[in-house]
Amino acid sequence: MADETHWVGVEDTIEDPEELRVIFNALDSYLQYGRHAHFNFTHTRRQAFYALPEVHWKRLAAPPFNYLDTLEKVDEAIDSNSELARCIVRTGLPSFVNVPPGQEHPSLPPQWAGCAKNQDIDKARSTIRQFYRDWSAAGASEREACYGPIMRVLLAEKASKSPESGNLKVLVPGAGLGRLVFELCLNGFDTEGNEISYHQLLASAYILNCCERAGQHTVYPWIHGFSNHRSRANQLRGYPVPDVHPSTEFARENPGQPLGTMSMVAADFLCLYSDEAHAETYDAVATVFFLDTAPNLIRYLETIFHCLKPGGMLVNNGPLLWHFENSHPGSRGDADGETDTTGIADPGTFELTDDEVMALVQQVGFEVLDRQTGLEAPYIHDAESMLQTVYRASSWMARKPLTAVRVKNNATANEPRFP
């Protein structure tokens, strides 16, 4: 990952004003995270606290409650999260603007300062929390539940091939913070991650390429909510990240297990991988908590079918929390009333059950060879919380037939793209 931007795909888009707006909204949201969090999670609570009758707030300020001390500790935790956010900006900003040498505190060009909206800052906060899942030792059980089934299938496929056939080439759409891409690379797969979110891309680029050591940062994922905590100690738990230093792991000599290659691509999955250049390119596509991000799952599956080699595998693990269930992307227009009809912004959405998804997978042309349902799959899960929400994931493997006929992606809406 020696590319200056740490990911491929931005070279042709950063001159686009709309693309620049999205990029700088993401960068600014990380810079605004701390101020926004301090205001919403501690400042407003202090105001509400002192609005109580004096006899009441004095009781709560004293032991064993020490409520004001709790707010101070939450402020300190926010500052720790903010340091990670600033590092993400400090290393990501030079990919898009010239940064003066030696600048310690990152700042955006004046026209972009303060551009992030609440929705952007929410994404920054969510991404910071996701470091717990992907890059802390405590998140290992989540990773095993969600990435483990994928890894086991791909390792079995690898073992079935002769060494002379070379590394299997794996595509990971919706790669997020890059942990699955990293693990696949360490296990000898030539792995390409794809991600559309600049919040995720900026964060993954930092942790994979620029973080100086394991445990450099401490993240506090549970401080943004004050409900369902058994104790304050549970709410204020911090986790060192990353649990391993990627550059150190890549540099290790392991003669019995050569590394694969690794890349990250910044692009809309549908727009990029449905083109002719990506036809029959990958031995496997690994989707984890990804398929339910589709407004139109048919297009996702057709694109995966298109870019797999004959005999290639789609390996999936995840729930069906349809992301566009209450927000139809085709209804989002610009100020002139124009609607973007490319990629994930295609007009029209639908939601299927798990059984219906499997029927659609087969209709697209895959052969389903293995399937398990009801597998526990937590997602940024606080095991100590009084509220427990755990997905029951569907995990399956489907193969593109060796005799599959590939049709160029110029079919009309009434023509089957992949018979």
The 8-class DSSP code of residue 87 comes to H
Express each pLDDT in 256-313 by its tens digit.
778 999 999 999 999 999 999 999 999 999 999 999 999 999 999 999 999 999 999 9
CA separation (Å) from 263 to 139, 245, 253? 23, 17, 20
End-to-end CA distance of the chain: give it in Å, rounded: 37
Strand 308-318: give its sheet, edge to edge.
262-266, 190-195, 169-173, 282-288, 308-318, 391-399, 367-377
Question: pLDDT category, 252, cuts 50, 70, 90?
Answer: confident
- Amino acid identity at 204: S
Count of residues making up the chain? 419
The SS3 of residue 295 is: coil
Rg of the chain, C-alpha, whole Å: 23
Q: Report CA 46 to chain centroid distance, whole Å.
A: 34
Sign, Cα dihedral of 223, 224, 225, 226: positive
Q: Are 92 and 206 in contact (CB under 8 A)?
A: yes
Residue identified by tokens 């009758």 is 53
Tokens linked to 360: 């659609």
pLDDT level of residue 124 (50, 70, 90 thresholds): very high
User: Which two three-digit tokens encode residue 144?
Assistant: 């095993």
| Percent of the chain whose predicted confidence (pLDDT) is above 70 | 87
Dump the DSSP string for 340-399: --SGGG-S------HHHHHHHHHHHT-EEEEEEEEEEE-SS--TTSSS---EEEEEEEEE
For residue 105, what are the contacts with CB-CB under 8 A and spacing of at least 6?
Answer: 86
Give every CB contact of residue 170 below 8 A, 6+ residues apart in sequence.
154, 184, 189, 190, 191, 192, 282, 283, 284, 285, 286
Residue 106 has a pLDDT of 79
Look at residue 60 and give its three-state secondary structure. helix
Residue 343, pLDDT score: 52
- Residue 339 is predicted with a pLDDT of 43
pLDDT at 332 over 70: no
pTM, rounded to two decimals: 0.90
Taking 80 as the threshold, does the pLDDT of residue 408 lie above it? no
The mean predicted confidence, pLDDT, of the chain is 90
Q: Read off the amino acid at residue 93.
A: L
Asked whether the predicted pLDDT for residue 92 surpasses 70, the reply is yes
Q: Could you tell me the pLDDT band of residue 344, with boundaries at 50, 70 and 90?
A: low
Q: How is residue 208 annotated by DSSP? A: I
Q: What pLDDT score does 4 carry?
A: 42
What ranges make up the beta strands (E) of 68-197?
169-173, 190-195
pLDDT band of residue 328 (cuts 50, 70, 90) is: low
Distance from C-alpha of 297 to C-alpha of 285, rounded to nearest angstrom:
15
Q: Which two tokens stand for residue 156?
A: 């079995």
75, exposed or middle or buried, with CB in 10 Å at 0-12, 13-18, 19+?
middle
CA distances from 87 to 22, 97, 216, 351, 371 (A): 19, 16, 11, 38, 41
Write out pLDDT tens, residues 210-234.
999 999 999 999 999 999 999 999 9
* Better-scored residue on pLDDT, 84 or 101: 84
Residue 194 in tokens: 């794809």
90 CB contacts (<8 Å, ≥6 apart)? 106
Between CA 67 and CA 240 the distance in angstroms is 26
